[in-house]
Every structure is written in C-alpha cells, then in structure tokens.
Amino acid sequence: MAGNRTKVNPALVRRWNTARMFHALREVGVASHGELVAMTGLDPATVTAVLHQLRADGWVRVADRDEAGARPPQPGAAGRTGRPPVRLTLDEGAGLLVGARLEPGTVRLVATTIGGRPRAAWQGPAGADPDGALSALEDGVDALLSDLGAARSAVRALGVGVPGLVARDGRVVFGPNLGWRDVPLRTRLAATWSVPVVVDNDTKAAALAERLFGAAREVRDFVLVAGHSGIGGAVHLDGRLVRGAGGFAGELGHVTVEEGGRLCGCGDRGCLEAYLSERAIEAQLRERGVAVPGYEGAAALAAAGEATVLAVLDGAGARLGRALADVVDLLDPECIVLAGSLAHVAPYLTPAVERALAAPKLARYRGPCRVVVSPLGPDAVPMGGVALAMDVLVAAPDAWTPPAAVLAGAAGVLAGADDATDATG
C-alpha cells in the first residue's frame, strides 16, 4: 500500500553519495568519471551531479598532467580512441582540518589537508579546568598555523576528542580523569570558531581514525581499545560507529574485571581502567618498587626483560582479555584494535588477550578475532578529531566503502571500461 512506503530523505541520500565520492578520491588520489562510477557503485548521472557540487564547493579539482599520469586513451564504443577522460583529485590546498586530543594537563593537535594528509603536529601543557584547556587549544592551533604560514581562515573544521562521557550535542557530561562535569564544550568552542566544530569521546574519535586512516581501513566490524589517562572503548559494526541512545556506548574501561578490586577514578572498584590505564600501570609498578614514566617507560623495561613489569603487564592483559572475551562473544567483531598510548605496551598485553579470546565456549564456532595494534600511535585521537571534522564538513565516514572494494572497482575500469562518456564538466 502506498501509505506504508518508507519515506526517503533526499538530503541524507545526497550526503551519503558525497561521502562515497569524497572518500573514493581520498583513497585512490586521482580518478575519472567512469572510474568513480565503478568504485562507488553510483549511476553516472549521480556521479556527475556530485562531482559538480564538490568542484563548486572547492573540494575537488581537475588533476594536472603529472598527477593524472600517462594513461593511454581508452577505446570508444566502436573501437575508436576517444579523448582522454578528465581526471579529478581532491584539492589539498583548499584548507586545513584540525584534530585535537584533550588530556589531563595536555593538548595534542594535528593539522591536515582536507583529505587527511598530516601537515603539522603540536603538543603542549594545558590547565586542569575547561578554561585552561580551551586557552591551550587555541594557542596550539595558532602555533600550528604559524608553523605552516597559514591564517586562521585556512581552518575549515575542528574536531576534538575528550576522555569521558560526551553527549551527542558535544557536552562533556562526566570526565572523571579531567574532573569535568556538564561542560558545554562544543558550544564554548563554537563561540570562538566560525567554522564547524565537533566534540566527541576520544576513543570514538580514534575508531573513526582507524576506519579512515589506520588499522581498520578494510574492516567493517571491530572493537577499539585506547589507553591514555584512562581506558576507552569503541564499537564499530557493519560499517558504522555504535553510539547508543545517549552517545555513551563502548565504555569498556568501566567494565568490572575484579569484584571489589582497585579503586577507579569513576568512584567504583575493580574497573578495567583501574588496572590498565597509564596511571594504573604506574601505580601497580610503584607498589612493587619500580618507578616508570607511563606506558613508554614500562615498555622499555619490559623490552629489557624486567620481570616485575612483564608480570604487571601480563596481568593487565589478562583482565583486558577477560572483558573482551564477553564483547567478542556478544558482537563477533573481526578484530580488536589496541590504540593510543596503549600501543606502546600492546606487545606485552597481546599474548594474554589472545589466550582469553581463545577460551570462550563459542570460540570454536566463530572465525578468529585478530588483535592488531594501531599504526597511528599517540595521534590516533587527534586524527580522530580530523575524521570528525571531515564528517561535519563534507562527508560522513560511516558511508564509506572499504578500499579493497574501491580498488577492485577501479581495476575493472582500468582493464578497459569506457570513459568516453565523461561528464564532469
């Protein structure tokens, strides 16, 4: 019946189509109209319309001869050689995206092109309260721009990752490691910046970065665990970041792994964060007479064979594995990504995690869940801020197709598909 038809939101469809086109060009660098049809699965008329809009907005330009390469003319429908197709690329000079990570006492920033190519990074101290953090963030952005010889007008969007519970409106509801409650962070940033601003949980931001730039580029189902001052989790299923009703989904750090165990910053006892966070590792080692400066220091001693450090890290890995085993049985992800500063000690956590993942009753029935380490290192969260900025500016990461499918589509076109009907204008 006509009354039961699902209504289609044209604006949402246009946004998803734009996302497919934008990210296809971001992945392959340069492509023609026909190649983009094959890569995105969109019809030629839609590709033409989206490309016209992207060019009008200034995000896409015609590639010059060196960028386009020396590809020979393609045969036409009747076997004749047609004109070389117009080849397009993202205009990496169209502006900058800035991603930020706010940590207790520290701000870390990355500036990239609109396609996510890093241009500069900055890290500096920040006050403990929101005023101090925002002031440091602003000073850091100015320092980045100064290094690049760019004006503030070059910034097209700003994305910020914060450790804590962040509502969908960019309000920090509770940041136990920051000591913040009910801080309207996005609203305050928007009052200073005239460009789009996005604020999200730091680990969710890192998951978007892994999807676009890191270890999960060809994975639709994964769970990310990140460690800095606390422990965060993010769930990415069927190509989408899972946020939950209030935006708080994925708080793995506050899963109980020891009843009545160590005191956590959230006020509860026995949370995973109380055993695995950087502060928790430092505290456990200090109790055993070993002083280390964070994950990096622990990793250095572990690499030297320090038995106490290895034992503490193995115990933390076992508790992480215990929490992840239930997650894996519940969600069946393809892989677990260890990200952020946690990556420093990941090699000493992974054996215990893998033992735990092999133990659940369902392990013998489902496919293996790999444990991988993020290649983004300490920039996972700031690059997540870049992904958030990219999302609000032009293209939603959730609409993206993994590169393997994109490159397979491109290979089909390069093998002989007809580009003679190029309509990019």
CB burial of 285-309 (b: ≥16 within 10 Å; e: otherwise) equals: beeeebebebbebbbebbeeebeeb
Q: Provide, for the chain, the percentages of residues in helix, strand and coil under a 3-state DSSP scheme, each rounded to the nearest 5.
A: 45, 20, 35
299 and 245 together in one domain:
yes
CB burial of 189-202 (b: ≥16 within 10 Å; e: otherwise) equals: bbeeeebbbbbbbb
Evaluate whether residue 213 is within a structural domain.
Answer: no
Cα–Cα distance list, 62 to 71, 107, 243 (Å): 15, 37, 37
Structural tokens at position 312: 């503490």
Evaluate whether residue 424 is within a structural domain.
Answer: no
Cα torsion 305, 309, 313, 315: sign: positive
163 and 227 together in one domain:
no
Per-residue pLDDT, 265: 86
Evaluate whether residue 74 is within a structural domain.
Answer: yes
**Residue 367 is part of a domain; what is its CATH number?**
3.30.420.40
Phi and psi of 264, rounded to 5°? -100, 160
Model pTM score: 0.85
The residue-averaged pLDDT of 364-384 equals 86
Read off the pLDDT of residues 284-339 as tens digits, 9 standing for 90 and up.
Answer: 999 999 999 899 999 999 999 999 999 999 999 999 999 999 899 889 999 999 99
**Residue 60 is part of a domain; what is its CATH number?**
1.10.10.10
Q: State the average pLDDT for the chain.
A: 86
| Residue located via tokens 């020396």 | 70
Q: Is the pLDDT of residue 17 over 60?
A: yes
367 and 234 together in one domain:
yes
Evaluate whether residue 333 is within a structural domain.
Answer: yes
76 and 113 together in one domain:
no
338 and 405 together in one domain:
no
Are 235 and 250 in contact, with CB atoms under 8 Å apart? Answer: yes
In this prediction, what percent of the chain has a pLDDT beyond 90? 63
231 and 361 together in one domain:
yes
Read off the pLDDT of residues 248-269 as tens digits, 9 standing for 90 and up.
Answer: 888 899 999 999 999 998 889 9
86 and 110 together in one domain:
no
| Residue located via tokens 């010059």 | 64
Half-sphere exposure of 360 (CA within 13 A, CB side): 21
Q: Domain range for residue 88?
A: 10-93+400-414
267 and 350 together in one domain:
yes
Per-residue pLDDT, 128: 84
| Residue located via tokens 């444990």 | 371
In angstroms, the CA 43 to CA 165 distance is: 41
The DSSP element (H or E) to which 9 belongs, if any, is: none
47 and 111 together in one domain:
no
Evaluate whether residue 17 is within a structural domain.
Answer: yes
Q: Is the pLDDT of residue 417 over 50?
A: no
Evaluate whether residue 190 is within a structural domain.
Answer: yes
Closest CA to 85 of 95, 71, 98: 71
130 and 155 together in one domain:
yes
193 and 276 together in one domain:
no
Distance of CA 181 to the CA centre of its chain: 25
What DSSP line would sit under 324-336, residue for residue?
A: HHHHHHHH--SEE
128 and 247 together in one domain:
no
Count of domains observed in the chain: 3
Evaluate whether residue 78 is within a structural domain.
Answer: yes
Distance of CA 86 to the CA centre of its chain: 32
pLDDT-based confidence at 364, cuts 50/70/90?
Answer: low
Evaluate whether residue 297 is within a structural domain.
Answer: yes
Read off the pLDDT of residues 191-215 as tens digits, 9 standing for 90 and up.
Answer: 999 999 999 999 999 999 999 999 9
